[in-house]
Amino acid sequence: MAVEVVLPALGLTVEKGTILQWLKREGDVVTKGESLYEVEADKVTTEVESPASGILKKILIPEGVEVPILTVVAVITEEKEELPEKYRTMAVEKPEKKVEPGAPKIQEPSVFLTSGPTEIKAPPAARRLAKERGVDLRAIKGSGPGGAILVKDVESFLIKGMPAGPKVLTTPTARKLAERESIPLSFIKGTGISGRVMKADVMAAKSPPKVSELKPRPPVSKYQLGQVIPMNSIRKVIAKRMAQSKFTAPHIYFYNDVDMEKLFSLREEFLTELEQVHGIRISMNDFFIKATALALLEYPLLNSKVSGEEIHIFPEINIGLAVAMEDGLVVPAIPRADQLSLVEIALYRADLVERARQAKLTIEEMERGTFTISSLAQFDITFFTAILNPPQSGILTLGKVEPKPVVMDGQVVVRKTMRQGLSVDHRIIDGAVAAAFLQSLKKKLENPYTTFVKL
Amino acid sequence: MRELTFREAVVEALDMALERDPRVFLLGEDIGYYGGLFQATQGLLQKYGEDRVMDSPISESAIIGAGIGSAIVGMRPIVEIMNIDFMPVCMDQLVNQAAKMRYMFGGKMKIPLVIRCTCGAGRGGAAHHAQATHGVFMHFPGLKIAVPGTPHDVKGLLFTAIEDENPVLFVEDKMMYNVKGEVPEGYYTVPFGKAAIRHEGEDVTVIATLRMGYRALAVAKEMEEKGIGVEVIDPRTLCPLDKETIINSFKKTGKMVIVDEGNRVGNFGSEVASIIAEEAVDYIQAPILKVTAPHVPVPYSPVLEKFYIPDEERIRQAVYRVLEYA
């Protein structure tokens, strides 16, 4: 019996996914549970397991193609079993279809695609090239006027399997030369009108640098001045969400200073032993996560979202931790942090951060957060404001801990001090509530023994 | 090589034709003593006499009718209709008689008739003396249409027209008479149905007729400095049309702009675009654009007339627009 491999539902809000890579080829023997392909949806890359054992008989959706969830992407058959007839007409990558002699050539309807754009703008030359090379135009992002898919987009797709870059003004001759020399156009500074890249610019980019230019340079950003960078899917999501949050929720901000001496000594006491017993190093962040969760228990309004004209208080306290990645930022959340022990929080945190950096989080892990903590302590930041992570209504910001002169009992003493900040959605959270929450959190952190040591 | 104006090249070709072949004679309004409205027959009456260079009454039908009759009986008439705008007056003689006769009578007679006429706006000629309707005549089978774009070509094409056994509509752009260019001495021909590539390029094909060829060439040279390769093709004859050269260029560039001074609808460029759509569809990378006069009568106002005529800026804009698809 042939078994269909479908693109699974990757999360509540996910409608489509892009197949990044097939880990098996047609004809390979696969076992149930073995990873078949990688799919990307929203920000997450997931490996999808084989639903059955047998032969990966037919891949219907090639790499780089975005399809709706539950689309049949491949078929697994038993050894020696023929591919059922109905799947033969479904393959995307087969441009030439055998037509019975005399029968008129009809475009095979796209049976595998249940939704998505039906109208594709592409001049005939681009269509011909795509057809000749078996490329599905739907997989290609057009860079021409009105999003038209141009010949160069198809060519670029064939070379890199990627959409053509953003439109770099260039002369056709320069473009051809740059392609021949494999120099990305976005790296060439154009000297023509409106920065148009000219043939001479490509030649200049191509020629080896002069000796005088070969001075050792300090390592710099991977980006260059004047470069135009297409937003990847993560960046698009971030951009959309940040703008949505900042322009929808009126933010107000609060700060207070926290004396960290006791928390530091408590951690010192725990640290080595916990590391030996549980193999995990408790970080300052783990304390913040726990303390925040406990403060939210006292002030549930900060653990809520606006829904129409209602305030929905989340049923759980799931603390999201903003994790910077090389390119972008994700906020995996530790579920029910109020009920977890420090060690459990530390284990969760270490795992989530590690997988965030490998882009291997699940949608669920990224969407379950009800309140977010963002720390820039490692960058020597004293304090900062943050934009709410929608639909949440509160975000805590942590600056660096540093020794500061403070007045205690009429004496100036030096204490390890941290400035924490809170941004809240002022539509539903009044200043006094937010201030009281921040005060509670400060007390919890300044009196760690009563907060964290429960016997 | 020596340079002549377009006008001098016409006069020289007519002079040589009269000299070379006693069957050749000229007939038209004001072509004799006046030397032609644009002096394109200047001095020929004095040299060859009234029997061979004849001023005609103001009757376009009579002019072409006389041409047809004399051609049938073995002469090589070169008749002149002063402005192509007057052609509708003698449309029956031209498209029903001259163009069809050889076909209708089973090839019993030949009609080696040359009908010279002028076209084009730019001299304040307005709606009746400044049109560029050469493209219209492509519609009629049996007519050959020459649209010379340089002094060199006008001389060579004129000899080919005179030697052709069929009626040839020979359209001279009146704004080109003072344009100078290299013209070989003596007799030579430029074949019909063979386009000239005025400028080679890889990126955009520009088909341009008559003086539009010069404007397209200027744009091509300017674009070349910017690294954009514009291939400029002068079809030289609309019928027969050198489809091969046009299509081959298009297969290379995938982008085309057609520049022609005719009104926009039913323009020569419409036919070229249709040929591309039918015969080279798989090579189309961008919209095929026509740069033409708008679909209005030629305005008399000098300001509007200048606006009416396709200029370099419009060609440039069209080239940039198709390059958006590059």
User: Does A183 share its domain with A241?
Assistant: no
For position A167, which CATH number holds? 4.10.320.10
Least confident of A59-73, A241-255, A399-413: A59-73
pLDDT, tens digit, 9 for 90 and up, residues B264-279:
999 999 999 999 999 9
User: Does A241 share its domain with A176?
Assistant: no
Question: Do A152 and B226 make contact, defined as CB atoms within 8 angstroms?
Answer: no
pLDDT, tens digit, 9 for 90 and up, residues A220-238:
567 778 788 888 777 888 8
User: Does A225 share its domain with A244?
Assistant: no
% chain A with pLDDT above 70: 86
Structure tokens at A322: 């903003």
* Cα–Cα dist A143/A148, whole Å: 6
Min Cα separation A234/chain B (Å): 29
- Residue scoring higher pLDDT (A386 or A94): A386
* pLDDT of the residue at B89: 96
* pLDDT of the residue at A268: 87
Domain, as residue range, for A9: 3-88
A305 within some domain: yes
* pLDDT of the residue at A116: 43
Whether the per-residue pLDDT at A102 is higher than 50: the answer is no
Closest residue in chain B to residue A128, using alpha carbons only: B282
- The residues near A420 (Cβ < 8 Å, ≥ 6 apart) are A255, A256, A257, A258, A383, A396, A397, A398, A399, A438, A441, A442
User: Does A341 share its domain with A322?
Assistant: yes
- Residue scoring higher pLDDT (A65 or B260): B260
Per CB-CB distance under 8 Å, the chain B contacts of A121 are none
Last residue of a domain, one of A195, A213, A231: A231
* pLDDT of the residue at A166: 54
A413 within some domain: yes
Least confident of A84-88, A413-417, B57-61: A84-88
Residues 298-317 of A with CB under 8 A from B: none
Closest residue in chain A to residue B228, using alpha carbons only: A171
DSSP string for residues in B25-59: EEEETT-SSS--TTSTTTTHHHHH-TTTEEE--S-
| Three-class secondary structure of residue A419 per DSSP | strand
Mutate to test the interface with B, among A171, A194, A199, A203 (most CBs of B within 10 A): A171
pLDDT, tens digit, 9 for 90 and up, residues A165-213:
456 777 777 877 877 777 767 667 777 777 778 888 888 777 655 554 4
A261 within some domain: yes
* Cα–Cα dist A1/A82, whole Å: 10
A117 within some domain: no
Q: What domain count does chain A have?
A: 3
* pLDDT of the residue at A92: 59
In angstroms, the first-to-last Cα distance of chain A is 59
Whether the per-residue pLDDT at A81 is higher than 80: the answer is yes
- The residues near B198 (Cβ < 8 Å, ≥ 6 apart) are B149, B208, B213, B216, B217, B220, B232, B233, B234
From the CA atom positions of chain A, what is the Rg in Å?
28
User: Does A31 share its domain with A54?
Assistant: yes
A121 touches chain B (CB under 8 A): no
Per CB-CB distance under 8 Å, the chain B contacts of A198 are 226-227
Last residue of a domain, one of A231, A256, A272: A231
DSSP string for residues in A282-341: --HHHHHHHHHHHHHHH-GGGSEEEETTEEEE-SS--EEE-EEETTEEE--EETTGGGS-
A115 within some domain: no
Mean pLDDT, residues B237-254 taken together: 97
Per CB-CB distance under 8 Å, the chain A contacts of B282 are 124-125, 128
User: Does A128 share its domain with A264?
Assistant: no
Provide the number of CB pairs (under 8 Å) joining chain A to chain B.
56
Question: Do A123 and B282 make contact, defined as CB atoms within 8 angstroms?
Answer: no
Alpha helices, DSSP H, located in chain B: 6-20, 44-48, 60-72, 91, 101-104, 126-129, 151-163, 212-225, 243-253, 268-279, 302-308, 312-323
What is the pTM for the complete model shown? 0.52
Instruction: Identify whether B129 is a catalytic site residue.
Output: yes
% chain A with pLDDT above 90: 34
User: Does A281 share its domain with A380?
Assistant: yes
pLDDT, tens digit, 9 for 90 and up, residues B41-51:
999 999 999 99
Mean pLDDT, residues A152-159 taken together: 83
Min Cα separation B233/chain A (Å): 19
* Cα–Cα dist B269/B244, whole Å: 16
Whether the per-residue pLDDT at A103 is higher than 80: the answer is no
> Which of the following is catalytic: B128, B129, B139, B152?
B129
Per CB-CB distance under 8 Å, the chain A contacts of B227 are 171-174, 192, 198-200
Least confident of A42-46, A238-242, A418-422, B52-56: A42-46
Closest residue in chain A to residue B321, using alpha carbons only: A145
A83 within some domain: yes
CA atoms within 13 A of residue B261's CA, in its CB half-sphere: 34
B196 touches chain A (CB under 8 A): no
User: Does A203 share its domain with A240?
Assistant: no
User: Does A317 share its domain with A433?
Assistant: yes
Structure tokens at B154: 């006008």
Question: Mean pLDDT, chain A, as a whole number?
Answer: 83
Last residue of a domain, one of A70, A88, A106: A88
* pLDDT of the residue at B71: 98
Q: Quick check: B205 and B117 in contact, CB under 8 A?
A: no
Question: Do A198 and B226 make contact, defined as CB atoms within 8 angstroms?
Answer: yes
Closest residue in chain B to residue A150, using alpha carbons only: B325
Confidence of residue A99 (pLDDT cuts 50, 70, 90): very low
Whether the per-residue pLDDT at B91 is higher than 70: the answer is yes
Per CB-CB distance under 8 Å, the chain B contacts of A193 are 226
- Residue scoring higher pLDDT (A163 or A81): A81
Alpha helices, DSSP H, located in A225-303: 233-248, 261-278, 284-298
Specify which residues A259 forms β-bridges with: A417
Whether the per-residue pLDDT at A11 is higher than 80: the answer is no
pLDDT, tens digit, 9 for 90 and up, residues B176-191:
999 999 999 999 999 9
Whether the per-residue pLDDT at A395 is higher than 90: the answer is yes
Per CB-CB distance under 8 Å, the chain B contacts of A196 are 226
User: Does A28 share its domain with A136?
Assistant: no
A103 within some domain: no
Residue-range domains of chain B with CATH: 3-182 (3.40.50.970), 196-323 (3.40.50.920)
For position A282, which CATH number holds? 3.30.559.10
User: Does A209 share its domain with A277?
Assistant: no
Closest residue in chain B to residue A196, using alpha carbons only: B226
* pLDDT of the residue at A207: 65
User: Does A144 share its domain with A188?
Assistant: yes
User: A380: which DSSP letter?
Assistant: T
A107 within some domain: no
| Three-class secondary structure of residue A423 per DSSP | strand
Neighbours of A193 (CB within 10 A): 9
Confidence of residue A91 (pLDDT cuts 50, 70, 90): low
* pLDDT of the residue at A12: 64
